[in-house]
Structure 1
Amino acid sequence: MTDNAPKNSLTLLGLGDMGTALARTWLAAGHRLTVWNRTAAKAGALAAEGAVVAASPAEAVAANGLVVICLLDDATVGSALDGVVLTGKDLVNLTTGTPAEGRARAAWAEERGARFVDGGIMATPTMIGVPGAGGYVFYSGSRALFDTHRATLEVPAGARFVGEDPGHAALHDVALLSAMYGMFAGISHAYALIEGEDIAPKDLAPLLSEWLGAMGFFVGNAAERLTSRDFTTGVVSNLAMQTAASGTLLRTAEQQGVSAELISPYLDLMRRRLTADPAAHGGEDTAGAITLLKR
């Protein structure tokens, strides 16, 4: 820590929905918090709860050794901290960004004499500060910074350090979110298929949940196959069979008057893997299709 501030004091830049949730959690836990937001009015309620409101990013950063950033995007981070003295500061960037932005921002911070950790928040604002809600934050970058402030960082949500490469927090974040949206796409397609039929969405819901849970084995199975590069041992439902069966999915969508745009890309990927070499790939698990995605 710097500036002779107490160990449980920190600065927070950014009071959007997530930043406000973080701030309230630290204040409720008894931390001394200095806040700054471009729209000053958003800080009013937090001032009533005990936060010190800074008039500028420079004033906010100067107040504490630990500075948490939760702004709109990476460009906003650069703009807010332009010209601010960062020497000796510990910067924890919880702004959503890409792995490349995390690495570049880490180098930028180091050039200015600061330690840096990037973060990826796996939670909604309503999950922050709620024990058992399941929210947590990925962190990557300076291990020393993370270890120093871990207790403070764990107040709003669980903390998971995923390596000293500053880009790995964002990479983990985006990987999990990408899987989530892929799942959402399949669920959306399933509900669209029953629209107009005598099947209530609430009746399909438990069946969907049960089936998706049963198919969760694919996560670990794919990881093992991508590690070993063995896509054929122990295959139960091979690529040739699944590709042939996919026609039924597409015909059903057409007959139900439903666009297949949410599932076609994956089915096309399986077909590409198979047609590249039917003899070599026909007996594979579908995880082999993942290898086609890397450009």
Structure 2
Amino acid sequence: MTSEAITVLGLGNLGRALAETFLRHGHSTTVWNRSAAKASGLAATVAATPAEAVADGDLVVVAVLDNQVAQQVLRGVDMRGRALVNLTSGTPDEARELARWAEDNGAKYLHGAVYAVPQTIGTAESSINYSGSPAVHERWQKQLALLGKVTFLGEDAGRASGYDVAILSGMYGLIGGFLHAAALARAGGIKAAELTPMMLSWLTDMHPALVTFAEEIDNGNYAGGESSLAMNQSGLAMLIRAVETQGVPFAALDELKALVDRQVADGHGEESLARAVESFRGVASQRLAG
């Protein structure tokens, strides 16, 4: 084992791309996957078990289906002295739990959230946010940078996942909105390909509004917003009528209007639409009380 020996556990699309990148840059790389056939064509050492794979590497990178699988793969493995970097998607609490497990088993833990499709790993189009052990980040930053742009978010192992779940929620909200828009357009005899350029132009123009909303949310000051809750309440009501009339209702619109309605009912109709974020606190409190 050399000081640059790397192990990759999991050879799905992401794991294989990670291993290929390390190999391309001359690192001694050992891989393991439940199905050894996934290692076909890789110029890597193929281990029969996770324990054998970990024994070969100072840096152990995990990229499997989910946190539960990661725990199963690592269970009973001697991790002493290893740097464990987990690129498996999961919740902030799951990342913290695995960080505690790593510490209890003699390893240092770094959690990563990947913003890339597998084919862009190792290019300028790939970026990965990390949080957890500063020592692992400092020692292995050069190797991790081979995979994509590195951003270190601090010592809390769950912080990278905290960013990730928020970003993914925004992403799926955008995709859901696009799919509904396409269905709504189709109901009106408009092709999605004809609609999309106009939609992209409008969404791009909205970027400054999101920056303003973020400032209002962080400051807790929603006074004097150009896009008021009352105005958007009316707009959402019209839109909901329209989509129902065209036979393409969308529950997300009803849920958004409900958030706005709560704030208007509390006397905040003239304040910024961004204040609707405060309605989520009420939803969370109701669920906890229930």
TM, length-normalised to structure 1: 0.92
Structure 1 residue corresponding to 2:139, chosen from 148, 154, 157: 148
Q: For 2:15 and 2:95, how far apart are their aligned partners in 1?
A: 19
**TM-superposed deviation, 1:51:** 0.6
Aligned residue in 2 for 1:55:
48
Q: For 1:51 and 1:242, how far apart are their aligned partners in 2?
A: 57
Aligned residue in 2 for 1:76:
69
Q: For 2:208 and 2:22, how far apart are their aligned partners in 1?
A: 38
Moved more, 99-108 or 186-195: 186-195
**TM-superposed deviation, 1:87:** 1.0
**TM-superposed deviation, 1:96:** 1.0
Which contiguous aligned blocks of 4+ residues in structure 1 show a shift greater than 4 angstroms? Answer: none
Q: For 1:161 and 1:219, how far apart are their aligned partners in 2?
A: 24
Gaps of 5+ in 1: none
Aligned residue in 1 for 2:3:
6
8 A Cα contact 1:92 1:119, kept in partner = yes
Q: For 2:114 and 2:200, how far apart are their aligned partners in 1?
A: 25
RMSD over aligned CA atoms reads 1.4
Percent identity between matched residues is 40
Q: For 1:288 and 1:122, how far apart are their aligned partners in 2?
A: 29
**TM-superposed deviation, 1:174:** 0.9
Q: For 1:94 and 1:10, how far apart are their aligned partners in 2?
A: 14
8 A Cα contact 1:15 1:43, kept in partner = yes
The one-letter code of the counterpart of 2:280 is L
The one-letter code of the counterpart of 1:36 is W
Structure 1 residue corresponding to 2:231, chosen from 241, 254, 266: 241
TM, length-normalised to structure 2: 0.93
Mark the CA change 1:125 to 1:180 in structure 2 (over 3 Å): closer, same or farther.
same
**TM-superposed deviation, 1:197:** 3.0
Structure 2 residue corresponding to 1:44, chosen from 32, 40, 45: 40
2:173 corresponds to 1:182: yes
Q: For 1:75 and 1:185, how far apart are their aligned partners in 2?
A: 27
Give per-residue Cα distances to partners, 1:224-281, cap 9 Å, x unaligned: 1122110013x11211111022211011101211112232211221112111x22xx1
Q: For 2:101 and 2:262, how far apart are their aligned partners in 1?
A: 42
- Correspondence 1:276-295 to 2 at 5 A: 277-278=266-267, 281-294=268-281, 295=284
2:202 corresponds to 1:206: no
2:162 corresponds to 1:171: yes
Secondary structure of the residue aligned to 2:247 is coil
Secondary structure of the residue aligned to 1:35 is strand
Q: For 1:87 and 1:72, how far apart are their aligned partners in 2?
A: 24
**TM-superposed deviation, 1:38:** 1.1
**TM-superposed deviation, 1:115:** 0.6
The one-letter code of the counterpart of 1:192 is A
